[in-house]
Structure 1
Amino acid sequence: MRQNPSFAMTDPAEIRRIIELNPWATLVSHADDGLVASHYVVLLDDERDDLTVVGHVGRPDDLVHGLGEREILIAFQGPHGYISPGWYGDVQAVPTWNHVSVHLSGVPEILSADENLRVLERMVDVFENRMPSPRGMWQLPNDDGFVNRLAAGTVGFRLRPAKVVAKRKLSQNKPVETVDEVITALEGTGPYADPALAAEMRRARDARQGRSA
């Protein structure tokens, strides 16, 4: 991802927030027969406060990616959407696409079977905790045989990124008044309405003005 200093996102806390809110990630590596991409849930490592992430791939994707042996890129995609130049008022402008994206790259560490199982259990907890009552949250069965067979079909990994590229392209190059107009349009009812993108733009605008998000 090409970086532009005007759109660079360098605050680790903000990068962590984007990763936490958008765990469905794309894993890209250069395999023996060319580029390969897979899609998996990837979480922040809850034992660290940096940008280390953990996840798993299903077998044989570990072999396809050469997991643990070569560099992998993990891409997280936050809110994104079309921005019409008609929202800018009577000025010369062109369409664009606003987005928030995070790329982490490096050579991942392969987790032990026990560590992988803990990651799988945490993934279940993270998403099942959002389930409403009365059913409550689903948990892994108290059946060691079943759980071990489930875990055996996956390979867990931990990535301490050697390189981080994070980009928040949210009309920061436009006057604040124009940003406000775009936010209003995104919060409306038109075909490109996107409240989540509007919220990210408001957050970036407030940071630009020195206000707390």
Structure 2
Amino acid sequence: MGRDPLRSGLTVYEFEKYLAPSQHEVTELVRRHPFALVVTNGGGAAGAPTVTHTPVIIERLAPDGGFVGGEMLGHIARKNPQWQQITDGDSVLLVFSGPHDYVSPTTYADDPNVPTWDYAAVHLTARATVLEGESDGMHVVTRTVEELESLEPTAWDMQSSLPTFERIVGGIVSFRFEIIEQRAVFKVSQDKPLEVRERVAAASRARGCPHGDVAELVERIGGDR
């Protein structure tokens, strides 16, 4: 079924100086930003990759607490033809984007300089299993609700809505993803002096960036504290 993402370059480049500071940071980014890109090969025009935006949640971490060897769950609409391009065991790429923001050279207070972008992202390569059954679908959607509601100040109780779930679950196809590779980049100005990072964070907050609180990452991760 098309090319294997492991062999076709569909993975994030890891910069040595921007590696994830810990597995905990990687796990929390995925947990708190579960609206992922599911990327498969060969379905688009001229064999271009096919991509669907959908929640992908953690079902089980590996025994060492990381993703490799663990499992994740996701689902897409049955009308979406992407699922028909996936055979059990195919590799897919799961892309999770965390906070990100533009960095203006005005924050550096020296010239010449160039603008850049601060961001955090996690790419997980996985072996996919297609779950067409309604019982599997119910498990995936209820687990998804549990995970997403756990991030809410007050969790919604889905029990009274389960009959509705059962009525419409046939409209989705679910997946189990066995994670076989993890790559992550946390590029958050950690190579800059403290006073520059403080200006970068302040500028992001003043701008009111709609792409998440990258300022918190800039202040917390790396550098000369």
Aligned residues with identical type, % of pairs: 24
1:179 is matched with which residue? Answer: 197
The offset of 1:43, in angstroms, is: 0.8
Q: Report SS of the residue matched to 2:111.
A: coil
In structure 2, do the counterparts of structure 1 residues 147 and 3 end up closer, same or farther at CA, with 3 Å as the change threshold? same
The Cα RMSD (Å) is: 2.7
The one-character-per-residue Cα deviations of 1:11-42 (angstroms, maximum 9, x if unpaired) are 22111100011011111111344211100001
**Higher mean displacement: 20-29 or 39-48:** 39-48
2:4 is matched with which residue? Answer: none
The one-character-per-residue Cα deviations of 1:111-142 (angstroms, maximum 9, x if unpaired) are 4643431221122234446276xxx8252546
2:101 is matched with which residue? Answer: 81
In structure 2, do the counterparts of structure 1 residues 195 and 24 end up closer, same or farther at CA, with 3 Å as the change threshold? closer
1:108 is matched with which residue? Answer: 128
In structure 2, do the counterparts of structure 1 residues 15 and 151 end up closer, same or farther at CA, with 3 Å as the change threshold? same
Q: Report SS of the residue matched to 2:20.
A: coil
The one-character-per-residue Cα deviations of 1:135-174 (angstroms, maximum 9, x if unpaired) are x825254664x43332222222222221211000111222
TM-score computed with the length of structure 1 as normaliser = 0.81
Kindly indicate whether residue 218 of structure 2 is the aligned counterpart of residue 201 of structure 1: yes
- For residues 133-212 of structure 1, the aligned pairs below 5 Å read 137=156, 139=158, 141=160, 144=163, 146-188=164-206, 190=207, 192=209, 196-205=213-222, 208-209=223-224
> Matched residues in 2 for 1:101 and 1:143: separation?
34
The offset of 1:91, in angstroms, is: 3.2
2:36 is matched with which residue? Answer: 25
TM-score computed with the length of structure 2 as normaliser = 0.77
5+ residue gaps, structure 1, are none
- Say whether the 8 Å CA contact 2:74–2:176 is kept in structure 1: yes
5+ residue gaps, structure 2, are 1-11
1:44 is matched with which residue? Answer: 58
> Matched residues in 2 for 1:38 and 1:18: separation?
19
- Say whether the 8 Å CA contact 2:201–2:218 is kept in structure 1: yes
> Matched residues in 1 for 2:171 and 2:160: separation?
17
**Higher mean displacement: 100-109 or 17-26:** 100-109
- For residues 5-20 of structure 1, the aligned pairs below 5 Å read 5-9=16-20, 11-20=22-31
1:68 is matched with which residue? Answer: 88
The offset of 1:183, in angstroms, is: 1.4
> Matched residues in 2 for 1:113 and 1:37: separation?
24
- Say whether the 8 Å CA contact 2:92–2:125 is kept in structure 1: yes
